Chains A and B, each alone.
Chain A
Amino acid sequence: MNKMIKYALFLGCNIPARVRQYETSARSVFAEIGVDIEDIKEFNCCGYPLRNSDFKTFVLFSARNLALAEKLGLNMITLCKCCYGSLKMAKHHMKENLFLKDEVNETLAKEGLEYNGNLEIKHFLSALYSDIGINTLKEKITRNFKNLKIATHYGCHALRPSNIMQFDDPVSPVIFDQLVEMTGAKSIDWALKLECCGAPVLGTNDDLSMNLTEKKLTDGKKAGADYLCTACPWCHLQFDSVQNMMIEQQRINNHLPAILFPQLLGIAMGIDKETLGIDMNQIDISVIGNL
């Protein structure tokens, strides 16, 4: 890696408000491996929550963000799978439908922006895997986990629809597992690995949402996982805050704590626990560094 890699970091709405440890841990990993980050203050919501009700406003939301990054000539990196999915989806729609793109640009022009589509959108995991590479990352790892079993949770909106997302093989993806195994931990096989976390319907059908979460947690636990590893704030909130709520409601008793991937990687790189926000997870994961 001769040339410094630089991305516009798209944090979205959940991370700064509710999963700050994802931001601090990811930034510390970027610093460790020498990835340069540009913060664009003007970024707005990716538009994901609007998809149910207002397709065109959703596309406008994504397009404005893309236009802002494009203006600086940067590719975008997201930490959130739903932001990733939405931005990519919007990009796809504007490529397919030039009328839609023109309509969006007409609105964007009012604030001097224009979307052309000349940028790439990466997720944290895909950027680490393809742009940095396992070998480079391995050089930075100072402590190898031993006997640590991790259940990787891929997250739907990065994987599918695969023809648009181009994240990994939608049926048997590997990049998350390889990234986890690089730390010495074992990525276990579990049946519900690629299933939904339940977050999209929390607040509209809590029972369904928590059932889906519960199924995954039980399955991961049964498969022998010590931790469930996430790389999306929605999934993480579901497996951390919502799981915590489910424990309080005595809906489940056998809990499976969730850890964000940059927290896991950060520990392996010897980054301090405070920066990684280990104590900020609602379900205690503080013993992980002692392994």
Chain B
Amino acid sequence: MLFTVLLYISLFVFLLGLIYKVSTWFSRKIGIASQNFTTSERISAAVKGILGVIFSPKILILVKVFILDVILQRRILKEDLLRWIMHMLIFTGFMMLLLMHAFDSFITAPLFKEYYSTVNPFLFLRDFFGIMVLAGLMIAVYRRFILKVPRLKSSPMDYYAIIILAVIMISGILLEGIKITSYTEFRNMVENYSGLDDEGEILALEKLWVKDFGLVSPNVKGPIDPAIIPLSKVLHNMNCAECHSSTEWAIMGYPAARLLKLIALKLDRLGGVNAFWYIHFLACFIGLAYLPFSKMFHFIASPVSLLANAVMDKDKSLPANIATRQAMELDACTHCGTCSLTCSVAVAFDKIGNLNILPSEKLVFLKTYASGKDLKENEIKAIQEGIYLCTNCDRCTVVCPVGINLKELWFNVREDLIQKGNPIPLVLSPFSFYRGLNQQKLDSKNYSNPISLTKDAITDKCELMKNPDEVISLTPINKEFKEKIDLSSQATTYSYCFSCQNCSTVCPVVGNYENPQKALGLLPHQIMRSVGLGLKDLAFGSKMLWDCVTCYQCQEHCPQGVKVTDVLYELKNLAIKESFNNE
């Protein structure tokens, strides 16, 4: 009764969760690309898109991807054999247990007339599939906790997934083991299924079960008289053999029974069978009810992601469907960390420590962000750095085992995240190249906002730049500022500058403007002198710093050996550090 009630409750929660999660695929707005579509537009676009694929040759692509990538998980195999073995063990083992064991009355029994869970091959197979899952889990634990792969992060959700599966498997094995030893179970079976009522005969049968089947009986102690065995065997064959293969075939349950032998009687008296039965099915039900909200939801979302990405194209698919797909992809992520292991800039995490640099962790952030969470100022800064510190090398997209189109996701989300009206130091770097290359896809109205905002944030702090008529006092020189220019041995060469202006003359940026001083502020030679004089505001406040193309013409042509470009690099480092990091 309790079992049935809990089963239906958890099934109900599961279904509600499933409906809720799938509905978020159509309602959540991610990045700049999804803002213009209503939920109903997205649903109708999805129906149109799905029907369009099903009734077209593309259906063959779906079949192929389903077999190779969903069932055989080719994309995991390409990355890592060990992980493929791990996932295949868990996936196949668990699916087989689900179909053959959990759903036995719906699937196995109708398919096989002679099905009993206690006869072979079913008895053996159940334990075999259990071993598969456990072996897979052991690899998972090994990989996450012992191997210590650099930059592979584990979240509470990863622990949960491992723990819930482990509890289900281990409680199942212990339940089987206790059942094998249980005298109560034995008596019940004799009562319900055998024609025996003579206590002497029952004892004879009991002795055989103690000897060969792992039963622990309070009535059978010491060595068993071999004379009784022929009778036992006759009784066994008449009453039990049809439904019971040797319990030794339970390759996990039987050893568990042997291990429990000494405490078996006590356990039986305390209702051990019941206890483990509750643990086992409760764990299953919790797993089921919580599934849509846990990492295990990937078993629905990841195949959808693989299939959708196989037939979708950013130029040809309906934009509403791309928006829906990107919302769905957040659920498809299994937090496996493949993207972060292959990421071109993941090393920056070692130095900077911002988790959002790692693509797998950006996805974790996006999940909460998409659910509408308000961000604190420092969270905004961290994600802006993380999302912009990316060379768009696309390696994450190539390797993602569930086929998430990460590069499109980043492009879409990045624009949304950097248009928050605050300065972002990294936009003043070649990381902006990709954005410039794709500027035609962006709203031209706001395009330059993050750049001008950041430049202004730096120059705004430079009072001297605002008052060009102010008389500069040459003493005291800002020694503290000069001492900070020390990242490399090149830097101090600014002191050799005697303002011959060679650097500014050969500079292609200076040469680009009719009135360079108006466009750029101070020119390279003036910046060198400003550093020499310890005039921090003048050194930091010029647009020249950020418009420098780093072509090294100035440095090459300096007769004094001033490392002009490298000094400019140092000033940029320092300006960013002083303007943003000390707040």
Instruction: Indicate with 1 or 0, residue by residue over B425-451, a CB within 8 angstroms of chain A CB atoms.
Output: 111111111111101100000000001
Task: Please name all residues of chain A whose beta carbon is closer than 8 Å to the beta carbon of B351 when the two chains form the complex.
Answer: 54, 56-57, 60, 107
**Is B218 close to A, CB under 8 A?**
no
Contact at A203–B432, with CB atoms within 8 Å? yes
Contact at A44–B344, with CB atoms within 8 Å? yes
Taking Cβ atoms with an 8 Å cutoff, the residues of B that contact A are 150, 342-348, 350-352, 389, 391-395, 407, 425-437, 439-440, 451, 487-489, 508-509, 512, 546-553, 555-556, 563, 565-566, 569-570, 572-573, 576
Indicate whether A52 sits within 8 Å of B569 (C-beta atoms), given known contacts A107-B351, A110-B350.
yes
Contact at A45–B344, with CB atoms within 8 Å? yes
Nearest 4 A-B pairs (CB), nearest first?
A203-B432, A203-B436, A160-B552, A13-B393
Contact at A212–B488, with CB atoms within 8 Å? no
Contact at B344–A161, with CB atoms within 8 Å? no
The 8 Å CB contact of B391, one of A13, A170, A211, is A13
In the complex, residue of chain B having the shortest beta-carbon distance to the beta carbon of A201:
B549
Contact at A170–B347, with CB atoms within 8 Å? no
Contact at B344–A107, with CB atoms within 8 Å? no
**Is A34 close to B, CB under 8 A?**
no
**Is A139 close to B, CB under 8 A?**
no
Contact at A49–B429, with CB atoms within 8 Å? yes
In the complex, residue of chain A having the shortest beta-carbon distance to the beta carbon of B397:
A17
Task: Please name all residues of chain A whose beta carbon is closer than 8 Å to the beta carbon of B552 when the two chains form the complex.
Answer: 156-157, 159-161
CA distance A40 to B332 in the complex (A): 29
Contact at A234–B433, with CB atoms within 8 Å? yes
Instruction: Indicate with 1 or 0, residue by residue over A204-232, a CB within 8 angstroms of chain B CB atoms.
Output: 11101101100100000000000000000
CA distance A111 to B551 in the complex (A): 34
CA distance A238 to B477 in the complex (A): 43
CA distance A244 to B152 in the complex (A): 41
Contact at A61–B348, with CB atoms within 8 Å? yes
Contact at A107–B350, with CB atoms within 8 Å? yes
Task: Please name all residues of chain A whose beta carbon is closer than 8 Å to the beta carbon of B548 when the two chains form the complex.
Answer: 201
In the complex, residue of chain B having the shortest beta-carbon distance to the beta carbon of A205:
B547
**Is A36 close to B, CB under 8 A?**
no
**Is A241 close to B, CB under 8 A?**
yes
Contact at B432–A204, with CB atoms within 8 Å? yes
Contact at B555–A203, with CB atoms within 8 Å? no
CA distance A48 to B343 in the complex (A): 16
Could you list 14 A-B pairs, sorted by A, with CB under 8 Å?
A45-B347, A49-B391, A49-B430, A51-B569, A57-B352, A61-B348, A107-B351, A110-B350, A156-B552, A203-B434, A203-B436, A206-B439, A208-B547, A245-B439
The 8 Å CB contact of A54, one of B391, B432, B573, is B573
Task: Please name all residues of chain A whose beta carbon is closer than 8 Å to the beta carbon of B395 when the two chains form the complex.
Answer: 16
CB distance from A173 to the nearest CB of B (A): 12
In the complex, residue of chain A having the shortest beta-carbon distance to the beta carbon of B553:
A160
Contact at B547–A201, with CB atoms within 8 Å? yes
CB distance from A231 to the nearest CB of B (A): 16
Classify the interface of chain A: helix, strand, loop or mixed.
helix
CA distance A137 to B392 in the complex (A): 35
**Is A50 close to B, CB under 8 A?**
yes
Contact at A160–B556, with CB atoms within 8 Å? yes
With A206-B436, A208-B547 already in contact, 12 other A-B pairs whose C-beta atoms are closer than 8 Å: A17-B407, A49-B429, A50-B429, A55-B487, A55-B488, A111-B150, A157-B550, A196-B549, A201-B546, A208-B549, A212-B512, A237-B437
Contact at A97–B546, with CB atoms within 8 Å? no
Contact at B430–A208, with CB atoms within 8 Å? no
CA distance A162 to B434 in the complex (A): 28
The 8 Å CB contact of B550, one of A55, A61, A93, A200, is A200
Task: Please name all residues of chain B whose beta carbon is closer than 8 Å to the beta carbon of A201 when the two chains form the complex.
Answer: 546-549
Task: Please name all residues of chain A whose beta carbon is closer than 8 Å to the beta carbon of B393 when the two chains form the complex.
Answer: 12-14, 16-17, 45
CA distance A160 to B414 in the complex (A): 34
Task: Please name all residues of chain A whose beta carbon is closer than 8 Å to the beta carbon of B509 when the two chains form the complex.
Answer: 208, 212
In the complex, residue of chain A having the shortest beta-carbon distance to the beta carbon of B348:
A57
**Is A64 close to B, CB under 8 A?**
yes
Indicate whether A202 sits within 8 Å of B437 (C-beta atoms), given known contacts A53-B572, A54-B573.
yes
Q: Which of A53, A57, A156, A206 has the largest count of B CB atoms less than 10 A from its CB?
A: A53
Indicate whether A13 sits within 8 Å of B512 (C-beta atoms), given known contacts A55-B569, A203-B432.
no
**Is A262 close to B, CB under 8 A?**
no
Contact at A53–B573, with CB atoms within 8 Å? yes
CB distance from B432 to the nearest CB of A (A): 3
CA distance A161 to B563 in the complex (A): 9
The 8 Å CB contact of B565, one of A13, A161, A248, is A161
In the complex, residue of chain A having the shortest beta-carbon distance to the beta carbon of B509:
A208
Indicate whether A61 sits within 8 Å of B440 (C-beta atoms), given known contacts A52-B569, A55-B573, A160-B552.
no
Task: Please name all residues of chain B whose beta carbon is closer than 8 Å to the beta carbon of A196 when the two chains form the complex.
Answer: 508, 549, 551, 553
Contact at A110–B394, with CB atoms within 8 Å? no
CB distance from A60 to the nearest CB of B (A): 6
**Is A257 close to B, CB under 8 A?**
no
